Chain A
Amino acid sequence: MSAYTDTLPEIRWPDGPPKKAYDVVIIGGGGHGLSTAYYLATRHGITDVAVLEADYIASGNTGRNTTIIRANYGIPEAIRFYQHSLELYQGLEAATGADILFQTKGIFWIAHTEMAMRTERARAQMNTACGAKTYMRTPAELKELVPQVDLTGGGRYPVLGASHHVEGATARHDRVAWAFASGASRRGVEIHQHTPVTGLIRDGDGGRVVGVETAAGPIAAGVVLSAVGGRVTAMAAKAGVRLPIRTHPLHAFVTDDYAQGFGPILASTELACYVSQTERGQMLIGAEFDSQPSYSRQSSFAALRSYSYKITRLLPFLRELRILRTWAGICDISADYSPIMGATGVDGFLVTTGWGTWGFKAMPAGGEGMAELIATGRPSAFIAPFTLDRFRRDHVLADQGSAGTR
């Protein structure tokens, strides 16, 4: 045992196979599924809940993202929602008693063109108006706060300025999942790993969803929530629900140890890449997702080459480091780059999806919102704008510019 494992919260795993019925069945033991279960148990006293995970908890995108928590989005609905999530994260260690290695670092979004500067100024203004703390910094101010940055951008991407989202943070992703799983399971929620859902049970032809099919047999449910990551198109189709989602791989890598220490999170508009340092000293680098959809988690040399080229324009010292480990996740990218939470048009079947490349920061507020919707039947003000029917109503929440990808 190490100090690391000593401080992992305890999860109470169920003694046997799933029961024949639950009030709520949540498909997917990632951050959003576990967070929903946690808030159902803690806020609403609903504990007759099963979380069914096909693999092991946090094995999908929850354990594969670059762990950045921020609220510097581009539309009011998103800023309010993510700021609320950021605040829940700030209090999560106190609320759950689990150490999630939460660190406020500040995130700089660097602009290399006049158009990008206008975008960053607009972002700072709108963030401030909606409650997120984002301010503009000059190149000189940036250089003072981040001495490693090359203000010429390798000669090709000169730094004209940056927006500084001062509450930007990181946390250890698997610990966040374990914190929610621990809090939920200690209150009676059952988390069944290695239990893939193979079908949804309908009441008659095209009627209400009343349960799920698993290898261990059918399980009845008052409400079924799909908190599935990349493979959500196939899951929703089992209920006859069509989603405006494409599944794209996103790659990331860590370098070996950078001994000097690197405090903040850095991102770039033109280069669409981002970097931070993990608590183990590795530099963690991500960028935009692959242009073509795929369900393959194969890492790609082309992605490594492209990310490395981009990020070394800004931080030349990275050239001295070696790539230690690389991986990929498959992201459910919604058509307007905003999440989809709530009703599906099929009774008894809810979704929390479209988390694309932006799901980690949203786990607390997404779960809190879905739990309230399940408990009361009404969406909270935070999640109400993000319903699936916004596409039919022509109320899309286009926010691609905030996603750190393109």
Chain B
Amino acid sequence: MLWLDCPCCGRRPLDEFTFGGERRHVPDWITDPDERDFDDVWILENPDGLTTERWFHAAGCRRWLTVRRDTATDTVVEVVA
């Protein structure tokens, strides 16, 4: 993985981007707080395959992108924007 296709700036080297982590669901704080706290704070899916994550174009347009990536091969499948 060397490049990312930024919807704003075009194909740019990966060095320009900052990894923002796996995209998380918005927590529902209401039910069973103990269990949900542990999961929400600590647990990532860490899949061996398709994942959806956030990247920040730090040295470019400074927008947050949502990226679909295959972690088995470390290749970008789709930049959702």
A and B physically associate: yes
A292 touches B1 (CB 8 A): yes
The reply to whether A296 and B72 contact each other, CB–CB distance below 8 Å, is yes
Task: Assess whether B42 is in contact with A296, with CB atoms less than 8 Å apart.
Answer: no
B66 to chain A, nearest CB (A): 14
Q: How far is the CB of A302 from the nearest CB of chain B, in Å? A: 6
Taking the nearest CB of chain B, how far is it from the CB of A28, in angstroms? 16
Evaluate whether A249 and B46 lie within 8 angstroms (CB atoms) in the complex, with A291-B18, A292-B53, A392-B38 already known: no
- Interface membership of A301, Cβ < 8 A: yes
In the complex the two chains form, what is the Cα distance from A302 to B19 in whole Å? 15
Are A292 and B19 in contact, with the CB atoms below 8 A? yes
Chain B residue contacts of A294, Cβ below 8 A: 1, 71-74
Q: Which of A32-40, A240-248, A315-323, A379-387 sits within the interface?
A: A240-248
Inter-chain contact B69/A292, CB cutoff 8 Å: yes
- A249 to B41 alpha-carbon distance, docked (Å): 23
A244 CA to B15 CA in the complex, in Å? 27
Q: In this assembly, does B2 line the interface, its C-beta being within 8 Å of a C-beta of chain A? A: yes
Kindly state whether residue B44 has any CB partner on chain A within 8 Å.
yes
**Contact (A295, B42) CB under 8 Å given A231-B48, A302-B14, A302-B15:** no
Which parts of A293-308 form the interface with B (CB within 8 Å)? 293-296, 298, 300-302
Consensus secondary structure, chain B interface:
mixed
Q: Which residues of B from 36 to 81 have beta carbons under 8 Å from A?
A: 38-39, 41-44, 46-48, 51, 53, 69, 71-74
A249 CA to B72 CA in the complex, in Å? 11
Asked whether, in the complex, the Cβ of B69 is within 8 Å of the Cβ of A302, the reply is no
A129 touches B (CB below 8 Å): no
Q: Which residues of A contact B44 (CB under 8 A)?
A: 244-246, 293
* A244-B42 CB under 8 A given contacts A231-B48, A302-B2: yes
Nearest CB on A from B76, distance (A): 10
- Looking at chain A's contact residues, the main secondary structure is loop
> A231 — which chain B residues lie within 8 A by C-beta?
48
Interface range for B: 20 to 34
Q: Are A293 and B38 in contact (CB under 8 A)?
A: no
The residue of chain A having its C-beta at the shortest distance from the C-beta of B18 within the complex is A291
Are A295 and B39 within 8 A (Cβ)?
Answer: no
Q: Check A233 against B19 for contact (C-beta < 8 Å).
A: no
Report yes or no: A296 in contact with B46, Cβ–Cβ below 8 A: no
A174 to B73, CA, bound (A): 26
Q: How many angstroms from the CA of A296 to the CA of B42 in the assembled complex?
A: 23
Q: Is the CB of A245 within 8 A of B69?
A: no
Q: Are A293 and B42 in contact (CB under 8 A)?
A: no
In the complex, which residue of chain A has the Cβ closest to the Cβ of B71? A294
> Cβ of B74: which chain A residues have Cβ within 8 Å of it?
249, 290, 292, 294, 296, 298
Report which of A293, A301, A302, A392 forms a contact with B46, defined as CB distance below 8 A.
A293
Inside 8 A of B14's CB, which chain A residues have their CB? 302
* Residue A234, interface by CB 8 Å: yes
- Contact B2–A391 (Cβ < 8 Å): no
Name the interface residues of B4-50: CB closer than 8 Å to any CB of A: 14-15, 18-19, 22, 34, 38-39, 41-44, 46-48
Q: Is the CB of A242 within 8 A of B53?
A: no
Alpha-carbon distance between A302 and B16 when the two chains are bound, in angstroms? 12
Shortest Cβ distance from residue A85 to the other chain B in the assembled complex, whole angstroms: 26
Check if B43 sits within 8 Å of A244, measured CB to CB.
yes
Closest CB in chain B relative to A328 CB, distance in Å: 10
Could you give 18 example pairs across A and B, Cβ below 8 Å? A231-B48, A233-B47, A233-B48, A244-B43, A245-B46, A247-B71, A292-B74, A293-B46, A293-B71, A294-B74, A295-B48, A295-B71, A296-B71, A296-B72, A298-B73, A302-B2, A391-B38, A392-B34
Report B's interface with A, CB cutoff 8 A.
1-2, 14-15, 18-19, 22, 34, 38-39, 41-44, 46-48, 51, 53, 69, 71-74
Known: A292-B19, A294-B1. 11 other contacts (CB 8 A): A234-B48, A245-B44, A247-B46, A247-B48, A292-B69, A293-B22, A293-B46, A294-B72, A294-B74, A295-B48, A335-B42
| The 6 residue pairs across chains A and B that have the minimum distance between CB atoms | A244-B42, A291-B19, A294-B74, A296-B74, A233-B46, A292-B19
